[in-house]
Structure 1
Amino acid sequence: MPFSGFDILIPVLVVLVLFLIFAGIKTVPQGYNYTVERFGRYTKTLSPGLNIIVPFIDRVGAKMNMMEQVLDVPTQEVITRDNAIVAVDGVAFYQVLSAAQAAYQVSGLENAILNLTMTNIRSVMGSMDLDELLSNRDAINDRLLRIVDEAAQPWGIKMTRVEIKDINPPANLVESMARQMMAERNKRAQILEAEGLKQAQVLEAEGRREAAFRDAEARERAAEAEARATQVVSEAIAKGDVQAINYFVAQKYTEAMAKIGSATNSKVVLMPLEASSLIGSLGGIGAIAKEVFGEDGQPVRPRHSTARTPSVTPDQPA
């Protein structure tokens, strides 16, 4: 049976419709956005999933990766404010927020971000001294992130992190820094040692002052006790108690003899006094003790008597 032209046209139309349908269906993977251009002009952005465009009129422009990406910053030399040359490298993390801006606002997105980061690394680190670079790396990272992120906003880019990986000064500069650090530590050690010696001397002086104060206080109390004892003896003599003066003289005599006998530089002691004088003084002490405590060793009450007891002095033999 011969086929007519209508019979041929129907399959051709079916195939053409199917081809148009498949040509207009676009599948966008997760993590990507596609831009759509109609006659070369941007019209819309295709999100992940199944999308339909007008075949032969619309076409896919740029396929933008919307995931966070990392960009390695190569090593470059930076001259610091104090004219030190250091080698610096880093790493930058960025994410595309607007596919249309990233595709049509800048040509060569990664190259633009790389050059922007390298330029700002030289600007930021070149305005600082070497000591600041080595000790304030976190501050440098924060400052770089703020500057680069602000510059990349028109491109639809969000800079998430900018990190300095390595800062390598020249070998001779590292050696000089090591000597400087050693000298600084020696200086601190000498200062601490001097402060410790000063503190020890202050404490020692305070200790001597406290000891002198206590010695003076002890001598003052001894003098007061001596004065009090002399006053008591004087009052006893004034009342007619002659035994008190015998006791006082015997006590002084005994102390003097003890000092003479305990001298280390005296092997032979010549005594111009009679030995009986000391015995007589001791007898006076015994008489005082009997008068105060009695014959049986019990204290007795004082008796008022007008009779004067003959005294025994150290100058008369007992």
Structure 2
Amino acid sequence: MHAAPLAIVIALLLATLLLASLRRVPEGQVYTVHRFGRFVRALPPGLHLVVPLVDRIAHQVHLIGHHVELPARPLGRTTASADLYYQILDPLRTGDALDSVDEVVLRQADAVLAEVGPQAENGWPVAAEALKAELNRRMGGLGLRIIRCSLHPGA
């Protein structure tokens, strides 16, 4: 006689555990999953299972609409700042860099800006295109794409 209430309690616990394991990632976003504080995987849009009490959603990252500003840096004989707009094309290739994707783009842009300095002699638009092309070449392996780049005289 006591087996029925016990079976109901167990069924309710299992249903609760299943519901706690489900995560729905909206279209246009990706979630990073951390286990014991370390990146384990990225969840693309859709319905996914995670291990409750072990896995934690660390960041919710939008795939499009990213904008970063590179502060004024030397560019040829002058200084320039840059506005970069980018999107994440392949979040699985981006991997644990998703947790700090803006910083990754800024570090790469800082390194590349020194290389395209001589292009500034041909005008700002030429230097901006050179910066965009080189950044796309370097970050393509990470699943990132610079969609717009503009350079401005620094202060």
- TM-score range, shorter-chain basis? 0.7 to 0.9
Counterpart of 1:164 in structure 2 is: 151
2:114 and 2:48 map into 1 onto residues whose CA distance is: 47
Which whole-Å deviations, capped at 9, do the CAs of 1:240-270 have from their partners, x for residues lacking one?
xxxxxxxxxxxxxxxxxxxxxxxxxxxxxxx
Given the two structures, how large is their TM-score scaled by the length of structure 2?
0.78
Counterpart of 2:61 in structure 1 is: 64
Structure 1 stretches lacking a partner, 5+ long: 169-318
1:66 and 1:55 map into 2 onto residues whose CA distance is: 24
Give matches, 1:66-145, under 5 Å. 66-78=63-75, 80=76, 84=77, 86-104=78-96, 108-125=100-117, 127=118, 132=121, 136-145=123-132
Q: Give SS of 1:67's match.
A: coil
Higher helix share: 1
Report the more deviating stretch, 115-124 or 154-163.
Answer: 115-124
Q: Is the 8 A contact 1:72 1:92 kept in 2?
A: yes
Given the two structures, how large is their TM-score scaled by the length of structure 1?
0.41
**Two-structure CA RMSD over aligned residues (Å):** 3.1
Q: 1:128 to 1:144 in 2, by over 3 A?
A: closer
Counterpart of 1:8 in structure 2 is: 5
Report the more deviating stretch, 153-162 or 24-33.
Answer: 24-33
Q: Give SS of 2:64's match.
A: coil
1:53 aligns with 2:49: yes
Deviation at 1:122, TM superposition (A): 2.1
Give matches, 1:144-293, under 5 Å. 144-167=131-154
Give, as a single letter, the amino acid of the residue that structure 2 aligns with 1:102. Answer: T
Counterpart of 1:28 in structure 2 is: 25
Q: 1:54 to 1:87 in 2, by over 3 A?
A: closer
Structure showing greater radius of gyration is 1
Counterpart of 2:15 in structure 1 is: 18
Task: State the structure with bigger RCO (CA 8 A, min sep 6), 1 or 2.
Answer: 2
Higher strand share: 2
Q: Is the 8 A contact 1:92 1:163 kept in 2?
A: yes
2:20 and 2:98 map into 1 onto residues whose CA distance is: 29
Percent sequence identity is: 16
Deviation at 1:35, TM superposition (A): 5.2
Deviation at 1:147, TM superposition (A): 0.4
Deviation at 1:9, TM superposition (A): 0.7
Which whole-Å deviations, capped at 9, do the CAs of 1:160-205 have from their partners, x for residues lacking one?
112102255xxxxxxxxxxxxxxxxxxxxxxxxxxxxxxxxxxxxx
Counterpart of 1:304 in structure 2 is: none
